[in-house]
Structure 1
Amino acid sequence: MRFLLILAFFSVICSANVIQNYIDEASKLKLSEKKQWHILLHMLDDKSEIRDKNFFYAKDGFKNPQEELEATIRAFYQSIESVEIPKDFLEADEEVKVIAKSRQKEDYHALCRFKARFRFLNDFLDFKDLPFVKCKEYEENLKYINPKSATIIFPTAFMGSPASMFGHTMLLLNSDFKSRLLSFAVNFSAQVDSSKENPLKFAFKGIFGGYSGQYSILPYYEKLKEYQDMESRDIWEIDLNFSQLEVLKIFEHIWELRDIKISYFYLNKNCSYNLFWLLEIARPSINLHQYFFYQVNPPETLFAMQKEKIVLDVRYRPSKQNKILFYEKKLDFKSLMLAKKIAMGEIVSLSSQKDIVDILDLSAELSEFYFIKQRLKYEQYITIAHHIASLRSKLGKPSNFKLKSPISILDANQGARFETFLISKNNLSGMGISFRLAYHSIDDNDVGYLRGSQIEFLKGSVFLDASKQGFEQVQINEAKIFSLSSFGMIGALFQPISFRIQTGFDRSFMKDALAYYMSGGVGMAYALNDFLYSYYLLEPIFYISEAPRMTLGNSLGIVFQSPRDIKMVFEYQNRLYKKDNGSIFSLSFSYRIVRNLDLFYQLQAYFFIKEKERVDQLAGVRIYF
Structure 2
Amino acid sequence: MNNNISEIKDLNFFFATDGDKNPKSEMFATIEAFFSNEKKDDNSSICRFPARYQWLKDKLNGVDFPKANCIEYNKVFKHVDPQSATLVFPSAHINSPASMFGHTFIRINSSYNSKLLSYAINYAANADKSKENGVVFAIKGLTGGYLGKYSLLPYYDKLKEYRDSEQRDIWEYDLNLTRSETRRMFRHIWELNNIQTNYYFFTQNCSYEMLWLLEVARPSIELRKEFTFQVIPFETVHEAKKAGLIKSMSYRPSKRAKLLKYETLINKKFIEYPILLVDGTMYVKDIMQNKDIPIEQKRYILEASIEYLEYSFSKSKVKKKYYLELFHKLTTNRAKLGLGEKIEIKTPPNPIQSHKAVRTTFGIGSRENNFISYLGIRPAYHDLEDSNYGFLRGTQIEFLNFMFSYSKEKLEVEDATILSIFSLAQRDDFFHNISWRTSIGWDRDYLSTDATFHTSVGAGSSWGNELGFVYMMVDPSFYNTNEKVEASIGGSVGFTIDKYKFMNTKVEATQKKYTNGEEQTLIEATQGFRTSQNRQIMLKYKYKKDEQNFQILFHYYF
TM-score range, shorter chain: over 0.9
Q: Is the 8 A contact 2:523 2:543 kept in 1?
A: yes
CA distance in 2 between partners of 1:591 and 1:168 (Å): 28
Where does the alignment leave 5 or more consecutive residues of structure 1 unmatched?
1-42, 82-104, 608-612
1:145 aligns with 2:80: yes
CA distance in 2 between partners of 1:504 and 1:429 (Å): 25
TM-score by length of 2: 0.96
Residue equivalent to 1:85: none
CA distance in 2 between partners of 1:74 and 1:208 (Å): 38
Residue equivalent to 2:479: 543
CA distance in 1 between partners of 2:500 and 2:383 (Å): 17
Structure 1 residue 199: Cα displacement: 3.4
Q: Is the 8 A contact 2:350 2:390 kept in 1?
A: yes
Structure 1 residue 531: Cα displacement: 2.0
Q: Is the 8 A contact 1:409 1:448 kept in 2?
A: yes
Counterpart residue identity of residue 467, structure 2: F
Residue equivalent to 2:508: 571
Residue equivalent to 1:389: 331
Residue equivalent to 1:519: 456
Residue equivalent to 1:618: 551
- 1:252 aligned to which of 187, 194, 203: 187
Q: Is the 8 A contact 1:588 1:603 kept in 2?
A: yes
Structure 1 residue 260: Cα displacement: 1.0
Q: Is the 8 A contact 1:514 1:545 kept in 2?
A: no
Structure 1 residue 432: Cα displacement: 1.4
Q: Is the 8 A contact 1:79 1:131 kept in 2?
A: no
Matches of residues 524-603 of structure 1 in structure 2 within 5 Å?
A: 524-527=461-464, 529-546=465-482, 547-578=484-515, 579-603=517-541
Residue equivalent to 2:346: 404
CA distance in 2 between partners of 1:68 and 1:175 (Å): 33
Residue equivalent to 1:67: 25
Matches of residues 469-548 of structure 1 in structure 2 within 5 Å?
A: 469=409, 473-527=410-464, 529-546=465-482, 547-548=484-485
Residue equivalent to 2:292: 352
Higher mean alpha-carbon deviation, 52-61 vs 390-399, is at 390-399
Structure 1 residue 301: Cα displacement: 1.2
1:283 aligns with 2:218: yes
Cα offsets for 1:317-347 (capped at 9, x unmatched): 1111111011112222212122222233312
Residue equivalent to 2:355: 413
Q: Is the 8 A contact 2:509 2:521 kept in 1?
A: yes
Counterpart residue identity of residue 447, structure 2: M
Q: Is the 8 A contact 2:169 2:253 kept in 1?
A: yes
Counterpart residue identity of residue 422, structure 2: S
Cα offsets for 1:167-205 (capped at 9, x unmatched): 111110010222111110001111121211243433332
CA distance in 2 between partners of 1:487 and 1:330 (Å): 25
The 3 A distance-change label for structure 1 pair 220 and 232 is: same
CA distance in 2 between partners of 1:241 and 1:426 (Å): 57
Tell me the SS of whatever aligns to 2:346: coil
CA distance in 2 between partners of 1:523 and 1:47 (Å): 49
1:266 aligns with 2:201: yes
Q: Is the 8 A contact 2:522 2:544 kept in 1?
A: yes
Structure 1 residue 127: Cα displacement: 4.5
Residue equivalent to 1:167: 102
Q: Is the 8 A contact 2:106 2:210 kept in 1?
A: yes
After superposition, the CA RMSD in angstroms is 1.4
Structure 1 residue 276: Cα displacement: 1.6
Q: Is the 8 A contact 2:93 2:168 kept in 1?
A: yes
Residue equivalent to 2:13: 55
Residue equivalent to 1:22: none
Specify which structure has the bigger relative contact order, considering alpha-carbon pairs within 8 angstroms and separated by 6 or more residues: 2
Tell me the SS of whatever aligns to 1:178: coil
Residue equivalent to 1:80: 38
Tell me the SS of whatever aligns to 1:150: strand
Counterpart residue identity of residue 566, structure 1: M
CA distance in 1 between partners of 2:302 and 2:378 (Å): 47
Matches of residues 241-390 of structure 1 in structure 2 within 5 Å?
A: 241-345=176-280, 346-347=282-283, 348-349=286-287, 350-354=290-294, 355-390=297-332
- 1:461 aligned to which of 385, 403, 426: 403
Counterpart residue identity of residue 434, structure 2: I
CA distance in 2 between partners of 1:191 and 1:549 (Å): 40
Structure 1 residue 394: Cα displacement: 1.1
Residue equivalent to 1:40: none
Tell me the SS of whatever aligns to 1:209: coil
Percent identical among aligned pairs is 36
Counterpart residue identity of residue 372, structure 2: G
CA distance in 1 between partners of 2:386 and 2:461 (Å): 21
More helix by share: 1
Tell me the SS of whatever aligns to 1:227: helix
Counterpart residue identity of residue 351, structure 1: K
CA distance in 1 between partners of 2:239 and 2:25 (Å): 33
Structure 1 residue 490: Cα displacement: 1.4
CA distance in 1 between partners of 2:33 and 2:5 (Å): 21
Structure 1 residue 132: Cα displacement: 3.3
TM-score by length of 1: 0.86
Higher mean alpha-carbon deviation, 429-438 vs 576-585, is at 576-585
Structure 1 residue 433: Cα displacement: 0.6
Tell me the SS of whatever aligns to 1:496: coil
CA distance in 2 between partners of 1:339 and 1:47 (Å): 57
Higher mean alpha-carbon deviation, 160-169 vs 319-328, is at 160-169
Structure 1 residue 119: Cα displacement: 2.4
Structure 1 residue 621: Cα displacement: 1.1
Structure 1 residue ranges, 4+ long, deviating more than 4 angstroms after superposition: none
Residue equivalent to 1:4: none
Residue equivalent to 2:56: 121
Matches of residues 422-437 of structure 1 in structure 2 within 5 Å?
A: 422-437=364-379
CA distance in 1 between partners of 2:324 and 2:59 (Å): 59
Q: Is the 8 A contact 1:505 1:516 kept in 2?
A: yes
Residue equivalent to 1:45: 3
The 3 A distance-change label for structure 1 pair 159 and 490 is: closer
Tell me the SS of whatever aligns to 2:271: helix
Structure 1 residue 75: Cα displacement: 1.7
Structure 1 residue 214: Cα displacement: 1.1
Tell me the SS of whatever aligns to 1:361: helix
CA distance in 2 between partners of 1:514 and 1:142 (Å): 60
The 3 A distance-change label for structure 1 pair 582 and 278 is: same
Q: Is the 8 A contact 2:94 2:425 kept in 1?
A: no
Counterpart residue identity of residue 535, structure 2: L
Where does the alignment leave 5 or more consecutive residues of structure 2 unmatched?
none
Q: Is the 8 A contact 1:314 1:408 kept in 2?
A: no
Larger radius of gyration: 1
Counterpart residue identity of residue 471, structure 2: Y
